[in-house]
Amino acid sequence: MAEETIFVNDATSEKPIQEIERLLHQLDGIERVLLDTSDGEIKVEFDDEKISIEQIVNTLKQHNFC
């Protein structure tokens, strides 16, 4: 299992946070998503044999979060 930190400026209020959590939990290989609402920090734990950090970031980019 791998862990990475991503910063998303919009991840500081309830609606974007819920959308980010929903998006990431739909991806195969995501184990855990933790968001820090004070600074938009997202810690993602994932199975790096199923998904890469690049795929996670690309998903966020496709939905205009990065």
Q: What is the pLDDT of residues 35-59, one digit of tens each?
A: 988 888 999 999 999 999 999 999 9
pLDDT at 12: 80
Identify the pLDDT of residue 24.
96
Answer yes or no: CATH 1.20.1730.10 is held by domain 2-62: no
| Tens digits of residue pLDDT in 1-19 | 999 999 998 888 888 899 9
Q: In the chain, where are the structural domains located?
A: 2-62
pLDDT digit string (tens) for 16-36? 899 999 999 999 999 999 998
Res 38: pLDDT: 86
Residue 48 makes CB contacts below 8 A (sequence gap 6+) with 1, 2, 29
Q: Is pLDDT of 66 > 80?
A: no
